Copies of this chain bind each other. A is one copy, B any other.
Amino acid sequence: MMTNDVPYKTYLTESELPTAWYNLRADMKVKPAPLLNPATLQPVTAEELEHVFCSELVKQELDDTTPFIPIPDEVQKFYRMFRPSPLIRAYFLERALGTPARIYYKFEGNNTSGSHKLNSAVAQAYYAKAQGLKGVTTETGAGQWGTALSMACAFFGLDCQVFMVKCSYEQKPFRREVMRTYGADVTPSPSMKTKVGRAINEAHPGTTGSLGCAISEAVEAAVSQDGYRYVLGSVLAQVLLHQSIIGLEARTAFGKLGVKPDTIIGCAGGGSNLGGLIAPFMGEKLRGEADYRIIAVEPASCPSLTRGRYAYDFCDTGKVCPLQKMYTLGHDFIPSANHAGGLRYHGMSATLSELYAQGMMEARAVEQTSVFRAAEQFARVEGILPAPESSHAIRVAIDEALRCKAEGKAETILFGLTGTGYFDMVAYQKFNDGEMNDYIPTDEELAASFAKLPQA
């Protein structure tokens, strides 16, 4: 251990950086089910989507056959600000666990948005600018996506309107200030600025908001202003496409090291990080060129893959977005208020859902106190304070490394460390003070939520 055969960190040179994104769907024999128009319940057309999304992004969303899509020059330049991200050998964690497993992580937190979200934000802002738009609207929960989009919009000179879930807006004033420093307009949601916001405020006075509700507000704001479109930080196929940069870089770095991972682990909320991290590896698996064990990790308090239904459902509370076939807990599902760890979306990327349905990957749900224990252990030996979201992957990576120890196996584990927890110290404080607890929804709660699925 701690020998120099593999460096602690592996960076690609600029000439080794990917110049095209990889579209995982091109290698799927059974494709993800099409999006449906919420009014007609028929497959949505490009024309219909273009009222909401930028034209080039609509093309990417609907393209499930082209395997590689070139990354525009300006986006490649922006990527050089914060990419390549390092592939890190977790020597110190291995030593602390006493495991024969070789643990690697791809760290996406070395940028001001604090996470991988910037990979797609810069692409989406670029296409909006190229289309001559004035600005974009979006929602943000924990604030990582909103921050990333603010940074991208500041760079391209686009107006950026962010609807931030009200409880986050109030509990995370610093996230809000980062967005403001990048010139974004940040509104707590539900707001009185939109019809859907006013309706939700009226129906649920004093509500602290939800992601599904903020999405509805952002979509309405986009379609009701000239020169604006809506952009989304996860769930959609276009986002997974942009995030494939994570997996592409990781695979190239492993190639340089002459190493192949056995197990790949990522946290899963809407699926942007997991879908990006596994993309090229899953592609090899789909083409029968290699086998990898792939594990999606989700919170036990929001267990869409492990306990959800694979069905068409609305992507947002206000039912203004297209329907998507996905693993879902029901579009009204909101995780318990004591859930601090992010990953609180009710559904899951359609691509990942279909791959999970096909048995191409596993899923595991973990409870938040065990997630924060893993976060603390990791922080103390690896020197990075992880985001709660990322810590779901750390939890399972540690569990797998301990299994390897018990079985005496020197497996190679890769996990995605999506970001840092610097804006999540309220959750860490709860954990440090022993005031954090776990919550698992009951079968009855889920059944009530499933009853509202559109085709139920």
Chain A, 376-396, CB within 8 A of any chain B CB: 376, 379-385
Q: Which one of B178, B183, B380, B422 lies within 8 Å of A174 (CB-CB)?
A: B422
Chain A contact-residue range equals 35 or more
CB of A19, distance to nearest CB on chain B (Å): 13
A311 to B52, CA, bound (A): 67
Looking at A2-10, A162-170, A292-300, the stretch in contact with chain B turns out to be A2-10
B181 touches A379 (CB 8 A): yes
B8 touches A81 (CB 8 A): yes
A381 touches B14 (CB 8 A): no
A112 touches B81 (CB 8 A): no
In the complex, chain B residues whose CB is within 8 Å of the CB of A178:
385, 422, 425, 428
B380 touches A182 (CB 8 A): yes
In the complex, chain B residues whose CB is within 8 Å of the CB of A420:
112
A92 to B151, CA, bound (A): 13
**A194 interface residue, CB < 8 Å from B?**
no
CB of A184, distance to nearest CB on chain B (Å): 11
B422 touches A382 (CB 8 A): no
Chain A, 1-30, CB within 8 A of any chain B CB: 2, 4, 7-9, 11, 13-14
A180 touches B432 (CB 8 A): yes
Interface residues of A (CB under 8 A from B): 2, 4, 7-9, 11, 13-14, 77-78, 80-82, 91-92, 110-112, 114, 151, 154-155, 173-174, 177-178, 180-183, 376, 379-385, 420, 422-423, 425, 428-429, 432
